[in-house]
Structure 1
C-alpha cells in the first residue's frame, strides 16, 4: 500500500536557478520560486494521509540548504524527510538514478519501495531510477520541464509509471496508483 510520495525538487516543485545548476547554495538564488499549484497539491496529498519527502540531485546544496529553501518557500512543514545528493558536479558521488540514494531515503522513511511513489520531471533519473528499485513513479511531462535523454531504457510494470502534464493532475495520479497498489495487494 502506498504511504509516501517522494518528490524531486528542481523543475518539479521549484523553478531552477539562473543557469539551471546550483553553483552556489540554492538559498542564494532569489529567483527560485514554487511552480504553479505546488502548495495546493502538497496540501491535497497531505490530506490524503500520504507522507511526503524530497530526494533531489543537487550540485552544491546539501540537505540543510534545501530545507532552508523549502522554509523560505513556506512548504518545509509538508515534508517528513529531505535529502539532497550534492552530486551534480562530482562524478564519484551517488545520485539518482543510483539505487544507493533511493535505498537511503527508503531506509530513513522505514518503508519498502512499493510503498512509495517518486514524482519528478526527468525520465532518466527520477523515473527509471525509481522503477529499477520497484518504486512507482509519476513523470511530470510538461514540455517546459520534462527531460528524457535515453529512449532505449527498458522499464518494468508494475511498479506503475504514470505520466501527467501538469502539477494539478498529480493527486489524481497518486489516487490511481493507490488503487492499483491495493488491488495488487489483494491478489
Structure 2
C-alpha cells in the first residue's frame, strides 16, 4: 500500500489507499489479538521451572519505546534486581505488550507515559488521559466491546490480560484516575514470586 501511494498523484486515490492501509493495519492488530486470545484460552500461563523475568521486562520496555511515535513522551524505570517467578515469559510478554499498547494508544495529555518496573515483581503503567467514568471502565473490561473510535483493539487487550493473569497467578490492579491527579489511567501488574532462584 505504501509503494502504491508513493506512485500516485491523484489526491482522491491517495486517500483511498490510506483508508485501505489503515484497514489492513487494524485487521493485522485484530488477528494478533485473536491469536493471543487463543493462546490465553489454551492454558498458557505457568512454567514448570522458575526463571528470572527481569531481562524479559527490560527488553519489552525498550521495544515499547522504539515502536512509539513519540518516544520522548515515555519515561522508563527499568528493573533493578532479579525476580524469580514461574510465570511463563510468553504469557508475561503478551500481558505487558497489551498494557503498553493500551497506555500509548489512549495517552492524550501533556504528561509522559510512565512504565515503572523498578520494584521487584511489580510493573506499573501510567498514562495521561481524560478520566474514565466507572461505566466506561466496566465496558472496556468486556470482551469485544470498543471504547469510542480511537480504540482499534476491539476490546480484546484487557480481556487477554485478565485471562492470562488468572492462569498465571498475576494480579492486575487498575486505578482511575492516576494517583494524585484528576486525570489518567494506571495499571499495576504484580507477579507471584518463587523461592526457586534460577541463577
**TM-score computed with the length of structure 2 as normaliser:** 0.25
**TM-score computed with the length of structure 1 as normaliser:** 0.26
* Structure with greater helix percent: 2
